[in-house]
Structure 1
Amino acid sequence: MTSVGAADVMAIRNAVLQRNAALRDAATRPVANTGQTTDTARVDGVAAGSASFATTFQNALQQVNTLQEQEDVATEAYERGETTDIASVVLMQQRASISFEATLQVRNKLLSAYKDIMNMPV
């Protein structure tokens, strides 16, 4: 059962890496002149210029919060004896933990970048 959980985590990791590569590629190449402005150009199902960084980051935080809440519900159900599938509970705990750690690392990088920018001579 552990290999199924590891496969799920690896699939999520690969999806995140693919999306990151697609966004990086879209940011580095110019938008083709097809009558679309950057506000309507679409990258991986998301409007490229329509969402601000704050909105994107807030959506990511909401997804992490949702995973944390689902993990809490699953853990409480296991503790009450409503479910006996410990593998799914542990998998949910690991997903929530990994998403939280990833968010924490992004926050640390953002703070580091902010400090670097604020320390730049003008």
Structure 2
Amino acid sequence: MNGLPSIGAGGGIQQILALRQQIISRNDLLREIHTTQAANQPSATEGAGGGFANSLHSALNGVSAVQQRSEDLSVAYEKGEVTDVAKVMLARQEAGVAFEATLQVRNKLLSAYQDIMRMGV
């Protein structure tokens, strides 16, 4: 009817276990890809005692790099060096989303700071 296997049958449990195993293997693969990408990036905890500050700095550098790439693609498109308008628009949207996310993080940090400052000691 809806494409889902029936659970009541004995084979249904085997199918569920097989699907579970597929999900676990895909999750392991994604975790491996994520750790590989994280290993290729510089560590955010390098330096003397700067865990949060370094993480924030590297995140801002990442946003800046995305915006610079978007600007470079836009300029190249205007010069006629890049002809794929979808690629340019995708880069611009990515830069916009990265900026909006950064803005929201800033707003949350500012709000948390203000809440802490209002606390009575």
Length-normalised TM-score, structure 1: 0.60
Q: CA deviation at 1:48?
A: 7.2
Asked if structure 1 preserves the Cα contact closer than 8 Å seen for 2:45 and 2:54, the reply is no
Runs (4+) of structure 1 moved beyond 3 Å? 44-51
Sequence identity (%): 49
Q: CA deviation at 1:98?
A: 0.5
* Greater relative contact order (CA < 8 Å, ≥ 6 in sequence): 1
Deviation per CA, 1:76-98, whole angstroms, max 9, x where unpaired? 00011111100000000011111
User: How far apart, CA to CA, are the structure 2 residues paired with 1:69 and 1:48?
Assistant: 25
How many residues end up aligned between the 2 structures?
81
Greater fraction of residues in helix: 2
Gaps of 5+ in 2: 1-29, 32-37
User: How far apart, CA to CA, are the structure 2 residues paired with 1:102 and 1:81?
Assistant: 31
Q: Which position in structure 2 is the counterpart of 1:108?
A: 107
Asked if structure 1 preserves the Cα contact closer than 8 Å seen for 2:44 and 2:54, the reply is no
Cα RMSD of the aligned pairs, angstroms, is 2.4
Distance 1:47 1:89, change over 3 A: closer
